């Protein structure tokens, strides 16, 4: 049975300089969709590339003292290396200097002249060289380019023009008949109100003031202007205009494109000019154009002139491709603008990847080796807590499918992380260490099986987003190939018992917040935000804390102390090995804690909240430099940290991956 085709593109990037994190954002998003569609059984064609003609390229090459082709080749090599480091799974990379593109553009231009869609005229108007865009007087903002805010120049030269006005009514009708063509919906309203209703001007499609580009065959002094040249890459890359039967078949298979991903600043070129060019060529229009928002800096849009451009390679080298891919797709709802901050990056990596996902995988593998000899046991009877987790896992699959079809990557990841966190909660609630101690082997086997099955579900669910982790986890847990397909998620519990599980090491080690923010400031030139110190040590949830709560926290605490006082408190990770009630004391438990290099006995007033058997195996935070005291005649050498609210109290715990005796900072 032939797989259904799915064609997805990024914009072709302008290689007048190295790319930044905003370009990576678009490419990673398209890659996530491509990987997802492949998992769902589609024959995916994923295209990216570079737009290599124009005045700006020629000027930059001259300034660098290099031939234009050499200047371009060096940057293209850098770009392709970036995509390799980010594990971008594109099926093709188009360069507009390639003959497969240039020859077809020449032919298209001649055809459009012959059929009266392109005519020779004279251009007079405002032109922005950095953006290579023409603007009318009404479109300027304070006399400057509305896109980049830089100066524009008055240009007068002979040019060819495309009769846009000829196709306006057909374009508006297409919008009406295909309401999902432009996404998000707000972009369509912007196109109609800002560009079409005021009167769509004919488009300048050639220049004579420079010569680096595709020349018009009948008028060689004219160079095909950027948008007619650049936009046609989407069809030349898949064989349009070729005499090769195999390429003709390829074009018929993949066109029309399922989705063009573009930044919001070039939506008008893809939803007005590109559809009209296709209408003139008698070709079907793309099914969807998605204009996403920008990753901004605190001082606005990234630009070389501001010196606020972030090199994604530096981030990848420090944190790995999975971490950067996750941050880009989780941090900002796709379609909206977001602001890059070092704090935001470190918080995502520490809390989402290290504390949540990494912790779940590592503690599952560790307990499999500790309690089951490193082999997945067969499950026994399921209890309600097991069924609840299974139901959540199966519902998560449906929710992720819905979000991915709508290209809402951050929402898909949000739902996956609900399952991740519930997986960790399940371990805490079922307490395999207690089951093992009590000899409840059948129940322990069921819990361990469900833990591994949860890891399997999550491994498949995150595979469109994280490119390296799924293979690492599949190897560690020895999942069979058929257990890592999307179809394998149709039923929770399909995992085959008997697989070996390797203990492994944490996949996402926790980062020192202050060290990483300092390093990021150096790498990116972004100064640290003025944020409360407490944000360095606790999870920052997706929803902001109401200001009234913040004010209460600030005003109702104890007297402030300096860092010199706080630094005198010594906190370490300890593992509870045994607990028992203190004779004659209803509130006290006598607890034996392993601190790595020593064993401590601590008396704690938590008997109201914990049964002794619940505590064995838990990793807790211990104050280790308190003076020893006697409580009800029993020596206590330290204190356990806990959080309380009303009549509730919970011990502060840490991931099992943290070694006993580790210092808590």
Q: What Rg, from alpha-carbon coordinates, does the chain have?
A: 30
CB 348 within 8 A of CB 326: yes
By the 8 A CB rule, do 341 and 482 touch? no
Homologous superfamily of 5-105+225-313 in CATH? HUPs (3.40.50.620)
pLDDT at 304: 53
Q: Sign of the CA dihedral 637, 643, 645, 649?
A: negative
Cα distances (angstroms) measured from residue 479 to each of 2, 154, 456, 502, 595: 27, 64, 8, 11, 35
pLDDT digits (tens, 9 = 90+) for 85-142: 999 999 999 999 999 999 999 999 999 999 999 999 988 878 887 777 778 787 888 8
The model's pLDDT over 240-276, given as tens digits with 9 standing for 90+, comes to: 999 999 999 999 999 999 999 999 999 999 999 999 9
Query: Can you tell me the distance from the alpha carbon of 415 to that of 411, in angstroms, rounded to the nearest whole number?
Result: 6
* CATH superfamily to which 341-490 belongs: Isoleucyl-tRNA Synthetase; Domain 1 (1.10.730.10)
- pLDDT, tens digit, for every residue of 360-409? 999 999 999 999 999 999 999 999 999 999 999 999 999 999 999 999 99
408 token code pair: 């809402």
Taking each helix axis from N to C end, the angle separating 359-372 and 441-461, rounded to the nearest 10 degrees, works out to 150
**Ranges of each domain in the chain:** 5-105+225-313, 117-223, 341-490, 565-651
**pLDDT of the residue at 540:** 30
Lowest mean pLDDT among 250-259, 425-434, 561-570: 561-570
Angle, in degrees to the nearest 10, between helices 384-405 and 409-430 = 170
pLDDT confidence tier of residue 609, bands split at 50, 70 and 90: confident
What's the pLDDT band for 536 if we cut at 50, 70, 90? very low
Q: Is residue 299 pLDDT above 70, yes or no?
A: no
Residue 476: which H helix or E strand, with range? helix 469-477
Which pLDDT belongs to residue 615? Answer: 85
**DSSP secondary structure string for all residues of 519-585:** HHHHHH-PPPP---GGGGTS---SSPPPHHHHHHHHHHS-----HHHHTT--EEEEEEEEEEEPTT-
Instruction: Specify the fold of 565-651.
Output: OB fold (Dihydrolipoamide Acetyltransferase, E2P) (2.40.50)
pLDDT(558) > 60: no
Average pLDDT of the chain to the nearest whole number = 88
DSSP lists the bridge partners of residue 289 as 182, 260
Map residue 339 onto helix, strand or coil: strand
Task: Answer whether the bond into residue 520 is a cis peptide, omega within 30°.
Answer: no
H or E segment to which residue 134 belongs: strand 133-135
117-223 folds as: 2.170.220
Q: Which two tokens stand for residue 115?
A: 């059929």
């Amino acid at each position: 049975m032939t797989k259904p085709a799915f064609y997805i593109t990024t914009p072709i990037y302008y290689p007048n300089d190295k790319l930044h994190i905003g370009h990576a954002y678009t490419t990673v998003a398209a890659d996530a969709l491509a990987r997802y569609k492949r998992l769902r059984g589609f024959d995916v064609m994923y295209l990216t590339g570079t737009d290599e003609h124009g005045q700006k390229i020629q000027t930059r090459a001259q300034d660098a003292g290099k031939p234009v082709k050499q200047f371009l080749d060096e940057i293209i090599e850098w770009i392709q290396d970036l995509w390799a480091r980010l594990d971008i799974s594109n099926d093709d990379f188009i360069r507009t200097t390639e003959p497969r593109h240039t020859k077809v553009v020449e032919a298209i231009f001649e055809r459009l002249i012959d059929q009266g869609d392109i005519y020779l005229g004279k251009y007079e108007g405002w032109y922005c060289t950095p953006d290579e865009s023409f603007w009318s007087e009404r479109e300027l903002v304070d006399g400057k380019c509305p896109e980049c805010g830089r100066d524009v120049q008055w240009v007068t030269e002979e040019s060819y023009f495309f009769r846009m006005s000829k196709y306006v009514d057909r374009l508006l009708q297409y919008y009406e008949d295909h309401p999902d063509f432009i996404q998000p919906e707000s972009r369509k309203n912007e196109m109609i109100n800002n560009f079409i209703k005021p009167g769509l001007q004919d488009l300048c499609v050639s220049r004579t003031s420079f010569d680096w580009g595709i020349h018009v065959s009948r008028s060689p002094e004219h160079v095909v202007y950027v948008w007619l040249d650049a936009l046609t890459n989407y069809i030349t890359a898949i064989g349009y205009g070729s005499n090769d039967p195999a390429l003709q078949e390829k074009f018929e298979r993949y066109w029309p494109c399922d989705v063009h991903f573009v930044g919001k600043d070039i939506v008008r070129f893809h939803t007005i000019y590109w559809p009209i060019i296709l209408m003139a060529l008698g070709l079907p229009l793309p099914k969807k154009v998605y204009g996403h928002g920008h990753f901004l800096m605190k001082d606005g849009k990234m630009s070389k002139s501001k010196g606020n451009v972030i090199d994604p390679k530096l981030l990848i080298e420090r944190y790995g491709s999975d971490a950067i891919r996750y941050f880009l797709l989780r941090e900002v709802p796709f379609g909206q603008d977001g602001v890059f901050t070092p704090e935001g990056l470190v918080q995502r990596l520490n809390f989402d990847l290290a504390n949540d996902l990494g912790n779940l995988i590592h503690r599952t593998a560790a307990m499999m080796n500790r309690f089951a000899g490193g082999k997945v046991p067969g499950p026994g009877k399921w209890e309600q807590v097991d069924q609840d987790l299974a139901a959540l896992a199966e519902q998560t699959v449906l929710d992720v499918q819905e979000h991915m079809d709508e290209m809402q990557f951050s929402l898909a990841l949000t739902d996956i992380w609900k399952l991740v966190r519930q997986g960790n909660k399940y371990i805490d609630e079922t307490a395999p260490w207690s089951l093992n101690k009590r000899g409840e082997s059948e129940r322990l086997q069921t819990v361990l099986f469900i833990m591994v099955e949860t890891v399997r579900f999550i491994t498949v669910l995150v595979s469109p987003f994280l490119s390296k982790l799924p293979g690492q986890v599949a190897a560690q847990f020895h999942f069979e190939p058929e257990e890592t397909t999307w179809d394998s998620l149709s039923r929770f519990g399909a995992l085959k018992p008997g697989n070996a599980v390797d203990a492994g090491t944490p996949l996402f080690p926790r980062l020192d917040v202050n060290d990483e923010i300092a390093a990021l400031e150096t790498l990116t030139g972004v100064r640290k935000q003025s944020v409360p110190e407490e944000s360095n040590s606790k999870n920052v949830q997706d929803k902001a804390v109401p200001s009234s709560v913040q004010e209460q926290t600030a005003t109702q605490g104890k007297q402030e102390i300096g860092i010199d006082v706080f630094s005198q408190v010594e906190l370490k990770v300890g593992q509870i090995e045994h607990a028992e009630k203190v004779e004659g004391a209803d509130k006290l438990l006598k607890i034996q804690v392993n601190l790595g290099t020593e064993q401590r006995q601590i008396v704690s007033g938590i008997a109201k909240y914990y049964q002794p058997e619940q505590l064995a195996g838990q990793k807790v935070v211990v104050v280790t430099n308190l003076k020893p005291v006697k409580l009800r005649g029993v020596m206590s050498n330290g204190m356990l940290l806990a959080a309380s609210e009303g009549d509730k109290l919970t011990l502060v715990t840490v991931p099992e991956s943290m070694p006993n005796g580790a210092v808590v900072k």
